[in-house]
Amino acid sequence: MSNNEDDFYVGYGPVPQKDRRFLLKAVPAGLLGLAGMGAFIGTRAASDGGGQWQTATPVTLKGRIGFHPYPVLWVGDVGHVIAGIGKKGADDYCKAFDGQSVEVTGVKIVRNDCFMLGVAQTGIKAINDPLPSIPAPIRMQDMSLIGEVLDAQCFMGVMNPGYGRTHRACATLCIRGGQPVFFSLGLRGGDPSAGPQTCGGNGFLLANAASEKINAEILEDVAVPVTLNASLEKIGNLYRLIYKQNSLKRLS
């Protein structure tokens, strides 16, 4: 029998010396390569933006309900946008309290130094406290912006990350269900310096010229890079874009 036949491997026999030497080098090298690839992919993954959905620690706040065009709880001149639970907005049960002093219990959806509230129908009730004022909108400037149209609750922290094509189906369902809509800068081609630092880091409420929701109009262009023309307004700590009809254009 030749020496070459000693290296012929069969399943019930020992691993030949030649193959054993190869495997002792190749397996560790392969594992190191996989670890390096994993680290590289991790650094290239989309950032979650630091959002948190604090379901374990509900909060109770007192203030006044206003619509801009989504429900907002005003605590002094600080507004907290109200999202419904799941894929459905809170408009239907907040409308009964529009302009009233209320006590609201919900969960914080936190991003940076700003938070929304996730509120169920049973989480809001009228109270007899003095009626606080609601800040009046201040017109600022006309703008042409690049960014993404997103459902506010997922962008702020319910989903991580709450933007981009992988999130598109979820965002579309939320927006179709009436959840608040944000236009966000600084995502995949947008310039975060093009507008003021807003709630959650460049998240603008969207409305039409009549201060109405535009959820149905923008469904086809959710969670993809777009450009739009709008007038910027400041309401307390919140910013709102008054969308110019038919100006929304997809970039890719």
The rounded percent of the chain whose pLDDT value lies above 90 is 48
- pLDDT digit string (tens) for 107-122? 999 887 778 999 999 9
Q: 135: closest CA among 82, 74, 71, 60?
A: 74
pLDDT single digits (tens) 177-219: 999 999 987 644 444 444 444 444 557 899 988 889 999 889 9
pLDDT above 80: residue 246 = yes
Domain shared by 142 and 229, yes or no:
yes
64 within 8 A of 105, measured Cβ to Cβ: no
Shared domain check, 210 and 184: yes
**Cα–Cα distance for residue pair 201/243, rounded to 1 Å:** 20
Cis amide leading into 161 (omega within 30): yes
Residue that terminates a domain, selected from 84, 99, 126: 126
Residue 145, beta-bridge partner list? 228
- pTM of the predicted model, to two decimals? 0.75
Query: Last residue of some domain: 69, 92, 126?
Result: 126
> Residue 36: inside a domain, yes or no?
no
- The pLDDT tens digits of the residues spanning 70-84 come to 999 999 889 999 999
Question: Phi and psi dihedrals of 169, rounded to 5?
Answer: -60, -45
Based on the fold, state whether residues 95 and 175 are members of the same structural domain. no
**How many folded domains does the chain comprise?**
2
Q: Where are the alpha helices (DSSP H) in 13-78?
A: 17-44
At which of 126, 147, 172 does a domain end? Answer: 126
Is the preceding omega at residue 69 within 30 degrees of 0, hence cis? yes
* Rounded CA separation 138/14 (Å): 81
- Within this chain, do residues 116 and 215 fall inside the same structural domain, yes or no? no
Instruction: Give the domain range for residue 159.
Output: 138-250
Task: Look at residue 114 and tell me if it is in a domain.
Answer: yes
CA distance 153 to 203: 11
Q: Rounded distance, CA 61 to CA 118, Å?
A: 12
Residues 153 and 230 in one domain: yes
Same domain, 79 and 162: no
